[in-house]
């Protein structure tokens, strides 16, 4: 082999090595870039997932706090409502215990027929009612209240000249023993247009701490009564 051929062969070998080396470097850079890109995406994804997880935990924590804060007043309200209801029930029970039982009855077997039931009018339109009956209840009456209504000649309410009232409560103190007479003899209103007086009810308060409301509903237009 001539010297020229040897040189050509050596040169070809060197060129081949250089080409191989260049190709290796080129592909290694591509692989490295690909690896870096892949790793970058992975890290980015991991960062996003981490951020999502942390954010989700934060939101969850906030939601949990919100729920806790929302529930506390509700529980407090419930407890307060239960306490208030209990107090109201207790108050209602106490009132039910303290207040005497009131029974509504008719006048039969409570009062006798009235000995007098009339009214008188004085010179200044003062009205005095006279009404007397006997106690047929069989009990001692400590207090009694006679409830009245006043009417004009056409049946409409007539009114007191000062107070403008047309209903009146006349309260008396006993005691009234069984069989005893009791009633009303009192100047109780000033009215120029009065024509009749109706006794609506009589509330009896007995010595045994019971009460009865006697529904009377009797009317008098007799103005021949006395004045006091």
Residue 91 CB neighbours (<10 A)? 10
Confidence of residue 128 (pLDDT cuts 50, 70, 90): very high
The arithmetic mean of pLDDT across residues 24-29, rounded, is: 53
Task: Give the range with max mean pLDDT: 12-21, 36-45, 129-138.
Answer: 129-138
DSSP H helical segments within 99-158, as ranges?
none
**Is the predicted pLDDT of residue 8 greater than 70, yes or no?**
yes
The arithmetic mean of pLDDT across residues 137-160, rounded, is: 98
> By C-alpha distance, which of 138, 152, 213, 145 is closest to 174?
145
Residue 228 has a pLDDT of 74
Residue 78 has a pLDDT of 52
Residue 12 has a pLDDT of 78
Lowest mean pLDDT among 35-44, 91-100, 109-118, 149-158: 35-44
Residue 89 has a pLDDT of 52
Q: Encoding tokens for residue 64?
A: 């949990």
Residue 9 has a pLDDT of 75
Confidence of residue 35 (pLDDT cuts 50, 70, 90): very low
Q: Which carries the bigger pLDDT value, residue 161 or residue 77?
A: 161
Q: Which carries the bigger pLDDT value, residue 122 or residue 32?
A: 122
Query: Is 188:170 a contact under the CB 8 Å cutoff?
Result: yes
Confidence of residue 34 (pLDDT cuts 50, 70, 90): low
**Is the predicted pLDDT of residue 216 greater than 60, yes or no?**
yes
Q: Are strands 181-190 and 196-206 parallel, antiparallel or unpaired?
A: unpaired
Q: What is the dihedral of CA 25, 31, 34, 36, to 10 degrees?
A: -80
The arithmetic mean of pLDDT across residues 213-227, rounded, is: 95
pLDDT in tens, 56-113: 444 444 444 443 444 444 454 555 545 445 545 555 555 555 555 678 999 989 999 9
């Amino acid at each position: 082999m001539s010297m020229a051929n040897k040189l050509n062969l050596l040169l070809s070998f060197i060129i081949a090595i250089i080409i191989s080396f260049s190709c290796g470097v080129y592909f290694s850079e591509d692989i490295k870039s690909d690896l870096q890109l892949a790793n970058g995406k992975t890290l980015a994804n991991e960062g996003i997932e981490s951020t999502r997880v942390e954010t989700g935990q934060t939101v969850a924590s906030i939601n949990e706090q919100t729920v806790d804060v929302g529930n506390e007043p509700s529980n407090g309200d419930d407890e307060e409502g239960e306490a208030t209801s209990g107090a109201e029930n207790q108050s209602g029970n106490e009132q039910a215990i303290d207040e005497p039982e009131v029974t509504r009855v008719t006048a039969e077997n409570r009062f006798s027929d009235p000995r007098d039931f009339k009214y008188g009018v004085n010179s200044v339109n003062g009205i005095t009612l006279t009404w007397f009956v006997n106690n047929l209840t069989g009990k001692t009456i400590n207090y009694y209240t006679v409830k009245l209504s006043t009417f004009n000649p056409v049946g409409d309410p007539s009114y007191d000249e000062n107070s403008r009232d047309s209903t009146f409560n006349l309260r008396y103190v006993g005691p009234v023993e069984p069989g005893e007479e009791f009633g009303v003899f009192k100047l109780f209103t000033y009215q120029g247009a009065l024509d009749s007086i109706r006794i609506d009810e009589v509330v009896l308060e007995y010595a045994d701490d019971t009460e009865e409301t006697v529904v009377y509903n009797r009317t008098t237009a007799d103005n021949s009564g006395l004045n006091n």
